[in-house]
Amino acid sequence: MAAFTMPDEAVRWIEATIARYPDRQAAMLPVLWAVQREKGWISPDAMVWVGDRLGCSASAVQAVVRFYTMFDEAPVGRWKLQVCRTLSCELMGARAIVDRIREQLGIEPGETTPDGEFTLQEVECLASCGTAPMLQCNFKFYENLTPERIDALLEELRARTPDPDDVEPVIYERPDAEAYHAMFPRAIEPAAGAREGEVA
């Protein structure tokens, strides 16, 4: 098995970053980010390599990788679509956004398309509540989404190459009341099988 390596430039960046902290292990998160940015995910070999750099065990590195949700322990799609599912987004139609992506791509949250293009995930609040619903695609936010905008976005992404430095959010015009209600047909009604409670 080939030993894990990182490009010289990345190693220089990592050493310079470690030197900024009073303690080597404190650079854990930035170093893991550098690895994920370079390789797309964090392999067991990478954890050993990171542990050696930081002066801690590979299991300490693995514990951190597993604790933080943004680190991937397996390859993900070229585009990672992370739809915010928390309250402000659900109030504005996040379920309709997830449903549209599921239909369009034929995958469930947590899955990757067979061609390796897209991974779909539901994630927690991304601090874009005033421009909900929204998703993060790789390192970029797309805000004020509608199902129609999802269709266009997926098409656009297929034709594009990911650029980790492209981080400026895309904030669409806020959906009007009509577009909002179309996304949010759910009314208060008992779920199937439930019956009306009686006041004693």
Of residues 13 through 32, those in contact with another protein by CB under 8 A are 20-23, 25-30, 32
Strand partners, 136: 82, 141
119 forms part of the interface with another protein (CB under 8 A): no
158 forms part of the interface with another protein (CB under 8 A): no
Which residue do the tokens 């895309």 mark? Answer: 170
What contacts 140, CB < 8 A, 6 or more positions away? 166, 167, 168, 169, 170
Of residues 162 through 181, those in contact with another protein by CB under 8 A are 167-169, 174, 177, 180-181
Query: And the tokens for 105?
Result: 């791509």
* CA-wise closest residue to 74 among 114, 122, 39, 121: 39
Count, residues near another protein per rule CB under 8 A: 65
* CA-wise closest residue to 101 among 175, 159, 151, 152: 151
99 to 118: interface string for another protein, x by CB under 8 A: --------------------
Interface with another protein by CB under 8 A: which residues? 20-23, 25-30, 32-33, 54, 56, 60, 63-64, 67-71, 85-88, 90-92, 123-132, 136, 139-141, 167-169, 174, 177, 180-181, 184, 186-188, 190-200
